[in-house]
Structure formats: C-alpha cells, structure tokens
Structure 1
Amino acid sequence: MFKRFQLHTVLGSLLLLILLLPEANAMPVFARDYQMSCTTCHSAFPRLNEFGESFADSNFRLPNWKDNSVVTGDDMLALAKTPPVAFRAQGFAQARDAEAIDVESGETTEVDTDFQSPYLIKLLSSAPLSEHITYYFYAIFAEKGGNGETIVEDAWFSHDAVFGSEVGMMLGQFQVSDLMFPRETRLTFQDYMAYRMAGITYDRGTIFDTRAGPLDLAVGLVNGNGIKQNVTINSPGYQRSDHMFDNDTSKSVFGRIGGDIGPVSAGLFGFSGQQKNALTDHDNEIYAGTGSGNRDTDKNIVGLDFNGKLGNKTYWFAQALWNEWDGFIEADQTYDWFGGFVGIDYIHSPRWAHSLLYNYADAGDLENTDTIYEGIAMETLTYTASYYFMRNVKGVIELNADLQSEVDKRGTYWTGHLSNENYLLLGFDAAF
C-alpha cells in the first residue's frame, strides 16, 4: 500500500503541472440551440460519443455559438435567444429480493416490490456567457421519494483560458469522480459504487486543467465534506448570519494524469484529504459507526482507470481504487480497502443499447470492525437493456444479481452482507 508522503509527492508534482471538464447530463438545450440531433453528441443518451466529449472539452460550445445570441448591439453582452433549459425525468417499478435489517436490533423488513415514480425530476441549464466562460447547473425537484425539496448538485462556472493561458479552470460544485467516469452519463441504473463508497462524488471547490503534449493534466481542491455540511457564522457584536460551506479548516487535494496508450485511454488518479471519524458510542445511541465524530482523520486514494472502444458499437471501461483511511474508527489504526468496477456498453442499433456492469469491493481492514463499513464488501453483476422510443426517450429493463455470499452476524450489531440484494427494474428515462 502506498505511503502518505508518496501520495503527497505525486499530488505536489501535479500542482506544478496543472480533467477534462465533467461531461454533462443529456442536454436537449444544446440540440435546440444548435438545431442538431441528440446523436451528434450521444451514442445512446446519456452516453457521450467522441464528438460529445470534444464538445465538453470545448467548454460546451460550438464555434458558431454567438449565432444563437440575441442581437443587442453590445459586444459585452451575450444572451441566449431562448432560456437555455432542459428537463430529465425518470420513473421505475422495481421488484427486489432483499431485506432491510436494523443495525442495532436485527429487526428485519422484507423488501419486495416498489413503484418508484417519479424517481427523479431535474431541471438543467447551460450556456456560454462570454468567449471563454460557460455556466452549467441542474436542480433536482424530486429524487428517491424526496418530494417537496429541491437539491442543486452540479453547479459551476468554467473558464477555458485563465489569464490568456492554455489552463482551464472550473469553480463550483461537481463530482470529483468525474475526472475518471462521470456517473451522470452511465447507461445503467446501478451506480459506480466504488466512487460513492470512497466519498469522491459531489463536493465544492475548483479544478485546473490543461494539456501537455499527449497528456491531460488536472489538479483540484475541494472542501472535502460533500455538499450537505456547513457551519453557521454569527460574528460577535453585530450579528452576521452566514455559512461556511466547509465544516473544518482543511481542504482536500486531488489530481489526474491521463493519456492514450494505443487504442486504450488510461489515467492515474490521486486524492489526499481528511474526513471525520466514525462514532461507535453505544451510550449516545450511536451504533456500529452510524454517526460521525469531531476528529479529523486522513483519507488517501490512488486510482487507475482505463477505457476504450471495440469497433464502432462497443465501449468498455474499468476503474480500480485503493483507499487508505487512517484512524477512521480506532485512532491508532489504518484501514485499507479496495473497490472498483468494469463495464461494457454495446450500442446494438438506434433502438437498442445493452450494458453490463460489474461492481466489486473488498472491505479489507474494515471487515471485522462491527460497523456498517463492513458493508463496503460487495460483488454484483448488472445487465441493462435500453429501448429508445425516440432519441431522448427510452425504456429501461435492468437485472441486478448479487454474487456475494451472505454472512452470519459476527459481532454485537447486525452488519455486513447479511442479505442478498437482487432486483429487477423496469421504467422510463426521458430528457426534453
């Protein structure tokens, strides 16, 4: 396992060198503005093709982007002729072979069938603001049954030539894992679980990126505590109500070096930051690591990612992440664990796309901690068939098989893989 000083050396070198911008969700607003089909950028929405990746690299614009601006006679004003908005909606029905088990009591609830509609409703918007600045955001109006709340996830400004250089910058809220494989463009309902387990999804910060010969280089800083934590500031004397989006004083640094090796694209990713320790205090009704403490603990990650294309219809991709969590549970112990995934997308025809996704994680040193983090261990195989009624409307059939053996309760609490989680999902996914 890598040592912390080695990771800091790698990231320090990246800082000297200075990601592709995270690929966006399916955005019909671009099709409207430029009067082109969704297939220009997507091999099968939301998966991007080569042109779509180039469009993202070009700060989400074509050379004629000004043709879609209002003629105001003011060279310092660029406004889209129509509001640049789009929507995405998903609805599913799901049958599961699973159980929900209470961590403390072991009480079991059968999980059989569920109507999950609406599963998600999003509003998306993006447009160029100047020759070099673009904005992008989306807001979720309903997700996973959470009606009545609005959550903003991706939301950022990007500048593709900072101070006239060849260095780009993005500032805002984004997924750190987008440096490797954007979760929002996957064809499966099943997630890239290693990213969620490692805690490198949504966060707030900045990324600098450039290209050096055959290499894509990126380095970034984020708060390191996701997008839900903040601290209210009330200054003495005059009461100033404000919020710090970071609930501690540290920042996490991360970076990626990527390039092509023949027909294969590969990348090396590194992350170094901190996270709060897991609490296991029974007296305070915090069981099996279900709460967070106030102690800052070091978190380091090294990742390798690979992807390529076979012929004109088959895309493949693979991710490996080695994680080191120092003092996460016991202050004097280091916890190492591994996670990753492998996937194949086959675009059979304009109507059909097929996907296979294999998720794997070994809980490693977290395995016998009698905490919920034993549940990091997983092994699943997911098959997804997508039928496109239209370019932007598809039906989804997905079957997930849990390949990991069930385990018996081994400690004080009901943790670990106590129940299999197979499911069948059917539904619709549309962007308009």
Structure 2
Amino acid sequence: MKRTAILDFPARHDADGGRVASSPCDRPTCRRLFCATLRSVPLLLLSAWLALLPAQDASAMPEFARRYNLSCAACHSAFPRLNKFGEVFIANNMRLPNWMETAAQLGDDRLALPDHVPLAIRAQAYVQARQGKAIDPVSGARQSAPTDFQSPYLLKLLSSAPLSKDITYYFYAIMAEKGGNGEVVVEDAWFRHADILGSGIGMMLGQFSLSDSMFPREIRLPFQDYMVYRMAGITYDRGVLFDRDVGPFGIDLGFTNGNGITDNFKINGAGYSRPDRMFDNDSSKTTFAHIDTDIGPVAVGVFGAVGKQHGAAGPAGMDTSQRNTDKRIVGLDASGDTGADIHWYAQYLWNSWDGFLDADPTRNYRWSGGFAGVDWIPNDRWAFSALYNRASAGDLARTNTIYEGIDINSLSLTASYYFMRNVKGIIELNVDFKNKTQPTGPYFTGHLSRENYILFGFDTAF
C-alpha cells in the first residue's frame, strides 16, 4: 500500500465526466500503482483531461468533490470503486496540491481549518430473498425469513480533511448497521502523517483494517464481502501502520493490539475512579507486513501477519478462552486490468491457529481460503461484477464447532445501475455450490442451510 505518488498539476479542475460517485473515497488505501509513472507527462495529460470535463454543481457531491469542485467521476470509475486518479489522490494523503486554498482564510498561516464542516453520508437499503437460516448451535432452534426488508441497511457518516502540510484525518461512524438501531459503530478512524521526520515514511495511527493493504472492502462493488478477510480476523484493529516506497516496491509494516476495536478496561490498580482506560490487556501485539510491486501489467503482493488470539472454548467453541494462542497468516494477491473497462483481482490466505480449541489445545489448526473477482464497467450507467469466495475449514472441519462454517464455496453476480453519479440501484444473485451437511456431533454446526439469495436495493453517497 503506497501513498507517496506526486501530484503535480494545476491546482483547480472542474469535472463532470467519467462514471460515478462515492462517500469521501471510502477507504484510505492505494497500491503501488502509479508512484513511478504518474509524475510529469502523464500527470499533465491527466490534468488536461480533468480540465476538459464539464462543470457540475458541487453541492450535489460528496465531501472531496465539494471541497475541490470536482465531479465524483474524477476519482471513481463506478461508485465506490476508485479509478487510477482516485488511487493517486489517496496515495497523496487524500488531498490535491491546492488543499490550502480550500481552508478558511483566517489570516493565520499556521491554521488550516476547513471552510465548512467536512461531512458526507452513505446510505444503503435492501430487500432480500434468501435460503439462509439463523440456527442456535446448542439447541438447534431455527429462525428463517424467506423474504426480508433490510432497510435501512446502514447509515454512514464520514469525515476527512487535511490539517497541516503532512497530516490528514479520516473517520466514519455507522448508525443502525444491519438492523442495529440504537447502535453507532466507529470503524475507520485515524490520523496519517505523510513524511515522518522527512524520511519519506508515512505513518497512520488509529483504527484501520489490516486487509486494506491488499483490497479495501469498503470500495468493492458487490454486496457480498471478501469473506476470507473476516474469517481470518484481519479486518478492524487499533494500531500503527508505516508505509514507504523502496524502488519498485511498496512496503507496509504495521503493529496492532490484536483484539479488535471494542475492548477497553478500567485502570484501577492505583486507586478509585481513575480516568484512563486500557484498549489492550496483554503485552502481545500483532505484526503484519505487505510488499507489492508490478510484474508487467499485473500488480502482485505478499502479505504476512503473526500475533496471538484468544482460543475458543465452551459449547461449539462459541466462548472466548482465557488462553492466548499463536496465529500466523501468509497471503498472496494479484490484480490487473483488461482494457479500460475490465478490472480483476484475486487473493489467497493460508492460516495457522496453534492450540486454538480448548477441547484439544495440543493440536494446531490450519485452514486456507481466498476470493477472485472481476468488475466490468462498460459505460457510466452500468457496472457488472462477479465475486467468487472459496475457503476450506481444513483442520477445523469435523470439530463440531462454529469454525466448521469457514467452509464456503459461492459465486455472487452483481449488476449496478447508476441513476446519478452517486446513486445506484443494485441487484445481486448469490449461488451456493455447497450442499447442506449434518452436524458432526451434539452441536448444530457446519453448513446446515444453503446461502443462496437474491438482493435488490439502493446505495447512495452525498
């Protein structure tokens, strides 16, 4: 994940061509893509292209579009998918060279307040017909809804702005996610310094997703997720991430607490009602790294992570063990383009969970999985996607725990129609290739119901 490309083009561009919109470029990540080539002549050509695009009223655009008076199509090939200019924009700490001109003019050159509250909203609403059921692993009690109105599916409030020459902040908070009315969940929330001590090393501090070094889930076109990232536990965590370009390679190195984004513990050892909290309660940290480069027209990367996680205990492995167990991940990823309209990507992870199950703490468990996808964006009205998820529970199969459910073999086909740059209708069909299984023991675990579904809905950002 590289963020050091140089934007060297005229400070202002008005735009309304291209294909679609988004929230403030949902996720701050960029592969190494253009650090070597987007510097002089290509950037001037890109600037000329942007300058020729007709203008659009900025009041109808998400936050970055409003700030720089650009169409969302400048950064997005199909909302929320980034185009190459959008990737370079994020690589440059989510700003254009004229960012200071967008700040409030207060007569103080050491103050760069945004000239408006930098907020954007993303909203989703769906209706779904499905075969999947909710099954209690202990009692086997079943609940099902063959048709389901999932509206609102989420309401997301996003904010980002440059704060100084090198520092940018970004966060979003999700309200009522997946029916959780009354809940607000903060996922991405970080500060990033683009050039620590003039070293060329960028540093991000806060909450972020480890998997964003590879393929950011927030900017995918399908409704279906990149399932192996969720199963491997490399989504949101609290920590620090360093990044730098070294020759043709982009290098990420990060350290996280390893316990997600919800834990906090009272510090009361010194006395009563102390104000601070611990976000972690042990000395172990997760260390991860990603290295990427281009081999011809293909971007390839290698990922590795080592750390600890609590084991699984109790009925069907649903409880958290008090034991810390070793965890290792190795991954390979690749992506590329076929022509101007077809974009493909693929990921595979190998996972080792040592002594993970309390039922047999002497055993080491290995499993693997990945995904592959393609997006076809033929014009500014339509986008079509296919996403294949495949994983094997490996040594966790037949353990009669919920981790048998790592097994997945499904294909998701998605069509998106863009009413406007930032408003799309979506239809998605998910085909489950796995047959239903019977429990392997007293608990109701495994692939007990198929997960075929068809989904319709709306997705917008403004």
In the superposition, the TM-score normalised over structure 2's length comes to 0.87
Cross-structure match for 1:20: 2
- What secondary structure is seen at the aligned counterpart in 2 of 1:195? helix
Q: Does 1:421 align with 2:421?
A: no
- What secondary structure is seen at the aligned counterpart in 2 of 1:144? helix
Contact 1:203 1:225 in 2 (8 A): yes
Correspondence list, 1:205-284, <5 A: 205-280=239-314
d(CA) in 1 for partners of 2:326, 2:310: 9
Cross-structure match for 2:108: 74
| CA drift at 1:328 | 0.2
**AA of the residue aligned to 1:172:** G
**AA of the residue aligned to 1:323:** N
Cross-structure match for 1:385: 415
Task: Please identify, of 115-124 and 231-240, the stretch whose mean Cα deviation from structure 2 is larger.
Answer: 231-240
Cross-structure match for 2:368: 338
Cross-structure match for 1:310: 338
d(CA) in 1 for partners of 2:184, 2:206: 18
| CA drift at 1:73 | 1.5
d(CA) in 2 for partners of 1:237, 1:140: 35
Q: Does 1:355 align with 2:385?
A: yes
**AA of the residue aligned to 2:259:** N
d(CA) in 2 for partners of 1:24, 1:302: 28
**AA of the residue aligned to 2:142:** T
Cross-structure match for 2:197: 163
d(CA) in 2 for partners of 1:71, 1:107: 62
d(CA) in 2 for partners of 1:103, 1:239: 40
Q: Does 1:403 align with 2:440?
A: no
| CA drift at 1:295 | 0.3
d(CA) in 2 for partners of 1:149, 1:405: 35
Coordinate RMSD, CA, aligned? 1.4
Contact 2:351 2:367 in 1 (8 A): yes
- What secondary structure is seen at the aligned counterpart in 2 of 1:259? strand
**AA of the residue aligned to 2:327:** K
Residues 1:332 and 1:24: Cα distance change in structure 2 (over 3 Å): farther
Contact 1:225 1:247 in 2 (8 A): no
Gaps of 5+ in 2: 4-23, 28-60
Correspondence list, 1:97-136, <5 A: 97-136=131-170
d(CA) in 2 for partners of 1:278, 1:80: 47
- What secondary structure is seen at the aligned counterpart in 1 of 2:179? coil
- What secondary structure is seen at the aligned counterpart in 1 of 2:176? strand
Cross-structure match for 2:328: 300
- What secondary structure is seen at the aligned counterpart in 2 of 1:200? coil
Contact 1:234 1:242 in 2 (8 A): no
- Among 138, 142, 155, the alignment partner of 2:176 is 142
Q: How many residues are matched? A: 408
d(CA) in 1 for partners of 2:25, 2:313: 36
Contact 2:128 2:150 in 1 (8 A): yes
- What secondary structure is seen at the aligned counterpart in 2 of 1:203? strand
Higher strand share: 1
Task: Provide Cα deviations, 1:255-289, integer angstroms capped at 9, x if missing partner.
Answer: 00100000000000000000001003xxxxxx100
Q: Does 1:64 align with 2:98?
A: yes
Residues 1:301 and 1:375: Cα distance change in structure 2 (over 3 Å): same
- What secondary structure is seen at the aligned counterpart in 2 of 1:67? helix
- Among 337, 348, 372, the alignment partner of 1:320 is 348
d(CA) in 1 for partners of 2:451, 2:143: 13
**AA of the residue aligned to 2:420:** M
Contact 1:40 1:51 in 2 (8 A): yes
Gaps of 5+ in 1: 1-18, 281-286
d(CA) in 2 for partners of 1:29, 1:102: 43
| CA drift at 1:250 | 1.0
Task: Provide Cα deviations, 1:20-51, integer angstroms capped at 9, x if missing partner.
Answer: 36x94188100001111111100001000100
d(CA) in 2 for partners of 1:327, 1:237: 37
d(CA) in 1 for partners of 2:177, 2:245: 37
| CA drift at 1:71 | 1.2
Cross-structure match for 2:84: 50
| CA drift at 1:102 | 1.7
Cross-structure match for 1:7: none
Cross-structure match for 1:394: 424
**AA of the residue aligned to 1:115:** F
Contact 2:137 2:443 in 1 (8 A): yes
Task: Please identify, of 138-147 and 238-247, the stretch whose mean Cα deviation from structure 2 is larger.
Answer: 238-247
**AA of the residue aligned to 1:156:** W
| CA drift at 1:55 | 0.3
Task: Please identify, of 239-248 and 152-161, the stretch whose mean Cα deviation from structure 2 is larger.
Answer: 239-248
| CA drift at 1:236 | 3.0
d(CA) in 1 for partners of 2:67, 2:82: 18
Cross-structure match for 2:319: 291
Contact 2:154 2:177 in 1 (8 A): yes
Task: Provide Cα deviations, 1:92-147, integer angstroms capped at 9, x if missing partner.
Answer: 00111222222112222233111111100011000100000000000112211111
In the superposition, the TM-score normalised over structure 1's length comes to 0.92
Contact 2:399 2:440 in 1 (8 A): no
- What secondary structure is seen at the aligned counterpart in 1 of 2:191? strand
d(CA) in 1 for partners of 2:348, 2:175: 33
Cross-structure match for 2:404: 374
Cross-structure match for 2:14: none
**AA of the residue aligned to 1:315:** H
